[in-house]
Amino acid sequence: MWGGRFSEATDSFVAAFTASVGFDQRFAKQDIQGSIAHATMLGKCGILTQQEVDTIISGLHQVQQEIDAGEFNWSITLEDVHMNVESRLTDIIGTVGKKLHTGRSRNDQVATDIRLWLRQEVDNIVELLVKLQSGLLTLAEQHTDTIMPGFTHLQTAQPVSFGHHVLAWFEMLNRDTERLIDARRRINQMPLGSAALAGTTFPIDRTITAELLGFEGICENSLDAVSDRDFAIEFTSAASILMMHLSRMSEEIILWMSAQFGFVQIPDRFCTGSSIMPQKKNPDVPELVRGKAARVFGQLITLLTLMKNQPLAYNKDNQEDKEPLFDCVDTLTGSLLAFVDMLPNIVPNKENMRAATMKGYATATDLADYLVRRGVAFRDAHEVVGNAVALGIKQGVDLSELKLEQLQQFSDAIGDDVFDYLTLEGSLAARDHLGGTAPNQVIQAVARGRKRLEKYNSNLK
């Protein structure tokens, strides 16, 4: 493709080393889609005749059919997906196929392909996220009054409902959804028409191409347009945060499935056994997702490092952007597919959760709040409750199991109604405000969550 400038053929090793067709053929559909739009624009601007445009588009459709049928012969000597498609097009329709590249470069072509491909992948990921969030809302709704210990420092802190905990996962994923939708706007900007780096001398109309390809906007600086990979880095950053959230959820599931917790079970299809220990049920899917988060984080660092010292405009380094991006998308999509089925099918062990909540003096703060409402300063109430907890530990009983006179020795503000506040149900019900764990608030939060998902679903359609 550049034989006129060079006096010798490219070394076979160099040809293989520099070729990208082994992985960028994944862009074939987007490459052909962009070429059809580009040819249509060239026709509307009078740069190609309508007959030439029709011939090119017909030939491109045939190329796509061959690729879909697995009959396309990918050649490493043609270096990349763009030249493979163009070469085959020229084989099919003759010399007119060589006119397709008028007014563009592979630099703006590949940047366009990546954005078209990633735009679709983001839509697929958002769709999976919405499905996963919907499943979590249903799970939360089923367990509004299932009591479990809430933790800080992995120590029992206060009673919460399992539904409330599941809604915390929902909020994490909702932020991820919003991040991806927002990032999509910056992905969906068209670089085509920037040519190699400075634009083209042909009288093109980029607005025609942008409209045909469904871009929301046009990259306004040709130097930046061909060399920008911020959109890929931003996506990978959002993907890393999402994988971090999935990893945190995985960690909780792994802990909760252990014999030491015994809080939940997940379906057998997401677990494996041991080759030597017949009793084992290992949470392999959560463990693997936890591990895959590190992989996605690594791809983010790869892309950041790839771009950090590149001068404007395009450099061959940018060929290395695709494999990290592909791996990031594939890893994230696979993890979400597993979670979409797994998380909504978690089965909590209500008895074990309740028993664990009773072990850690989880209603201590409720007793302190009770004393404050009785006129005791909070710091004094804190000390009173600390003394009561110490007595409970000494006697091996929960606060709710201490006798009234035992509690009253620490404060005469304690009345016989105190036990209404020391029950687990009372503790939950008392936190009846926006964002609280009261069953009533969980029900309302589920309803609000469904309204948020309706907005996302309408955008997906």
Q: Which of 7, 153, 275, 458 is catalytic?
A: 153
Residue 41 CB partners (closer than 8 Å, separation 6+): 204, 205, 206, 208, 209, 212
Q: Is 153 a catalytic residue?
A: yes
| CA separation for the pair 105, 223 (Å, rounded) | 13
| CA separation for the pair 164, 436 (Å, rounded) | 8
| CA separation for the pair 233, 308 (Å, rounded) | 11
| CA separation for the pair 37, 48 (Å, rounded) | 13
| CA separation for the pair 102, 117 (Å, rounded) | 23
Cβ distance 98 to 90 under 8 Å?
yes
- Kind and range of the H or E element at 151? strand 147-152
Cβ distance 415 to 421 under 8 Å?
no
Tell me if residue 95 falls in helix, strand or coil: helix
Q: Which of 58, 75, 258, 274 is catalytic?
A: 274
Question: What are the backbone angles phi and psi of residue 283, rounded to the nearest 5°?
Answer: -80, 65
Start-to-end C-alpha separation, the chain = 42
Residues designated catalytic: 153, 274
